[in-house]
Structure 1
């Protein structure tokens, strides 16, 4: 294993995460997930040895991080934080080129193979039209992509990203995650990224690290999602305590959409209804009578009529 956490207590004066055990190998893509304030960023800082452990140890390639210099950690790990200082007079190409900094003296000129690599990464991240643009003139999404590009050019075996898709639209989010997974599989990189969206794990990650109640749960994505119903259960977002859901038979996404629609519009008991999605219709059963509706607007009007809203 290339990254190992052993009996680690992670936090400041008191642990945010207790007795953590986890490991990842080169080639793994892992999502770090958990609510705000549970210790995700603190865990990342501990891996970087920016914050010492309260107890236990973290190993990189068999070496305890507390024995490594800042330069040695940078050679092992490239990092992208969700908030970073923006060098105002740098272009996109300048920033991405900085990933080579750890391999050269402070003042350096890139070799041709380095420039070619930077150009390739700019192309991969769909930033070519912005490569000469000053960072201060970029959108939040393209700025985030440029910082990720810098981490990629660092050529470290581990890339850690703290909320890397926060400012990205869906197209750019997929571009970034596909690029990261390709890196992991084709260049044997270990990718660890944090997010609030479990769907990203299902589509792009191999492993999950899930922080809840001071515990770090780890494993294969599908195992962790099935073991922790709250990650995928739409009732997590219920806003009316009086709402009792109906039976819903549908693909997961459609089920979540219907659940959300019903619980925010009807704060009452809907257990006398059942819904089954038969594309493109929703079949609603009430008192052995079936009704077919194609749109959610029709469903709202139907329920309003039967409950005399």
Structure 2
């Protein structure tokens, strides 16, 4: 399963993003970032074929989205927009259960295993106490979590979220981001979410799609961040309890990027490795080798092979 964008011109009559080219595969978590009005939501709606491309193509499993039915798109992609209509007389359980109805006519009762899955997702999102609460009585944050729960319940291989953490406090933001990353890695899904906060990418995303000056810059998080100085602001975080960092000698931003990359990808002791950034290259020293790389992607591949 791949999501591919090929030479796509995206916009409403007027081009917002020109000649876009990008790829995501199962297991990828991707942050879509850019200033207001650059075309992030338009890009999402183009992937859903709610807006037609001005040129180029978007492919799901090598099938052009313009040739897929609405049902086929729903089976492949679950979506949460930042502004959604709220069914006033639905409870949290009702809303999250809706994700299952792309597989059944609405007059069918959900199977026992479907209801158990809905209950599990409600608990995962820390919404247990609100299970039977009417949506109109929820806070903005809990309402957003309920809509995200509906998308998860849909069991589509791709989940797209438009600014999913906007109304969430830090605790609930962490719950959502950890849940999304877990879905990608443990259930092998593609997660694409937009945000104004590039720092989320360092801790939770594998790829970035950065929209700037009508261009879509895509690639591994750390490479894209260092190519665009306006995105970076060094500060170290520790979210992986099993990670033991190596020695890193580098400028502050480069050190930050490498630290974040390693703790996201390796739950083990890397203290035997020594990293040093010299003249545009990373040198990795271990007990029996000295290696040199230019990109963070090369570093990850190398460590998986040698350590």
Smaller-chain TM-score bracket: 0.7 to 0.9
Q: Extract structure 1 runs of 4+ deviating beyond 4 A.
A: none
Distance in 2, matches of 1:163 and 1:58, equals: 22
Distance in 1, matches of 2:178 and 2:90, equals: 26
TM-score by length of 1: 0.75
Tell me what 1:280 maps to. none
Q: How much has 1:233 moved relative to structure 2?
A: 5.2
Q: How much has 1:118 moved relative to structure 2?
A: 0.3
Tell me what 1:173 maps to. 173
Tell me what 2:23 maps to. 23
Q: How much has 1:81 moved relative to structure 2?
A: 0.1
Q: Which has the larger radius of gyration?
A: 1
TM-score by length of 2: 0.76
Q: How much has 1:106 moved relative to structure 2?
A: 2.2
Q: 3-state SS of the aligned residue for 1:51?
A: coil
Tell me what 2:134 maps to. 134
Q: What pairs with 1:1-309 in structure 2 (closer than 5 Å)?
A: 2-232=2-232
Equivalent residue pairs, number: 239
Distance in 2, matches of 1:251 and 1:20, equals: 32
Q: 3-state SS of the aligned residue for 1:182?
A: helix
Residues 148-178 of structure 1: CA deviation (Å, up to 9, x unaligned):
0000000000000000000000000000000
Distance in 2, matches of 1:91 and 1:123, equals: 15
Q: 3-state SS of the aligned residue for 2:160?
A: strand
Distance in 1, matches of 2:29 and 2:49, equals: 21
Q: How much has 1:251 moved relative to structure 2?
A: 6.4
Tell me what 1:285 maps to. none
Cα pair distance change 1:171/1:69, threshold 3 Å: same
Distance in 2, matches of 1:73 and 1:187, equals: 19
Instruction: Give the unaligned 5+ runs of structure 1.
Output: 235-249, 253-309
